[in-house]
Amino acid sequence: MTDAGPPPPSRNVSGLLRRLRDREFTGAVVVSGAPGGTIHLRAGRVTAIDTPGSPPVESLLLKSGRIDEEAWSAARATAGPSDPVGVTLVEHGLVGAVELEVVCAAAVHDAAFALALTAPGGWDVAESALPPQVTAGPGVEPQALSQETGRRLTLLPRLWGSATELVRGRVHAPALASDPLPPRYREILRFVNGRRTVRDLAFALGRGVFPVLLDLSRMRARHLVTVELPTSTSPLGDGLGPRTDVGGAPPPPLPLGFPLPRRTPGGHLPDRGR
C-alpha cells in the first residue's frame, strides 16, 4: 500500500478498481447485492474474487477431477498463513504451478462476469479482509478485467440473449443426441436434468459460468438443448439474482392498484448439483 487515506468515491466498481490499482492497494473490495462478493487485491491487481455467482477455484479443481477431495483436505490441513493452499497443492504435485495460475485467472474472469450480471447494491473498501483461499500468479489487471467482462456481457445478447436471464434459465435436453458429440457437450448433457439452471450446471461440472454458456449456445444451435428462461410463470428461480434486468428500464407497473411483492435477494442458495 502506498496511500493511507480512504479512496475517493467512484461511480462504479471498475472505476474504483482502477483507482486502487493506481494506489497499488492491497486488501479487498466487498460488493453487496445479489450475488455480491469480495474482490481481493494485491498491489492493485485482482488475485481472487469470492462470489456465490460462479464456481470458486476449489470447485474448478475438484469437480473437474484435477484433484480429489482427500488430497485437497490434506493440503488445506497443512497450509498455513505463510504457506497458502495454492503453494501446498503445487508442492504436493497435485497441480502444476502454471496450471493453477491459469485456473485462478479463469476463475477471476468468470467471477467478474457473474458479479457484473446484476447491478451491485453497494461496495466498500476493506483494508483487512480474510485472504483468498487460493491464489497463484501476479493477478489480473483491473483494466483488462473490466474490458473482458464488458466483451462477455455484450457477446451473449448477440449470440443468444440476456446473460442475466440465461444464467438463471433451466436447461432441457429435448431429445437424445444420436450424432457423435464432442466430449464437452456429452459431459454437459450428462448433468442436464431439466431442473438445473445454467449456473447450476457450471457448479456441477466445475467449469466457469461463461464457458458453459458459450457451449450451451453452440449446443442450442444444434438443437441439443433448450433453455427455459425465468419468467413470472415459473416462480422458482434459483434465487440468486433480483428479477429486474440490469441496465434496462424497469418494466411498467401492472395495473393492479397496489405494488406486487418484491423478492429480496439472499436466503436462497443455488442448487449446487449434488
Partner 1 sequence: MRTLDTSLSEILSLPGVLGAALVDAVTGLTYGAVGEWEGTGGGIELSDLTGLLAERLNQAGATGELESVIITSRRRHHVTQVVERRGDAVLLTTVLDRERTNLALAMRQIAERAGEVLA
Per CB under 8 A, residues contacting partner 1 are: 60, 64-66, 87, 90, 96-99, 101-103, 105-106, 109, 136-138, 148, 151-152, 179-184, 206-208, 210-211, 214-215, 218
* Long-range CB pairs of 210-214, under 8 A, 24+ apart, other chains included: 210/109, 210/110, 210/113, 210/152, 211/110, 212/188, 213/156, 213/160, 213/163, 213/166, 213/167, 214/159
Min CB(183)–partner 1 separation in Å: 7
Judged by beta carbon, residue 39 or residue 95, the one nearer partner 1 is 95
Instruction: Tell me which residue has cell 480474510.
Output: 130
Shortest distance, position 40 Cβ to partner 1, whole Å = 18
Q: Quick one: 25 or 210, whose CB is closer to partner 1?
A: 210
CB of 252 to partner 1, least distance (A): 37
AA letter at 181: L
Q: Cell numbers of 116, please?
A: 457484473
55: number of CA atoms within 13 Å, CB side? 28
Residue 251 DSSP one-character state: P
Q: How many other CB atoms sit within 10 Å of the CB of residue 155?
A: 15
| Complex with partner 1: residue 27 or 211, whichever CB lies closer | 211
CB of 60 to partner 1, least distance (A): 7
CB of 56 to partner 1, least distance (A): 14
Closer Cβ to partner 1, 101 or 200, answer by number: 101
Q: Report, in Å, the least distance between residue 95 CB and partner 1.
A: 9
Spatial CB neighbours of 36, under 8 Å, sequence gap ≥ 6: 30, 51, 52, 115, 120, 121, 265
* H-helix or E-strand spanning residue 51: none
Nearer to partner 1, 96 or 194 (CB): 96
Q: CA–CA separation, 40 vs 59, rounded Å?
A: 18
C-alpha 227/C-alpha 216 separation (Å) is: 9
If the CB atoms of residues 94 and 173 are measured against partner 1, the closer one turns out to be 94
Task: For partner 1, give the closer residue by CB, 138 or 253.
Answer: 138
CB closer to partner 1 out of 51 and 135? 135
Q: Minimum CB separation from partner 1 for residue 202, in Å? A: 11
How many Cβ atoms are within 10 Å of 228's Cβ, its own excluded? 13
Minimal distance, residue 49 CB to partner 1, in Å: 15
Integer-rounded Cα radius of gyration of the chain? 20
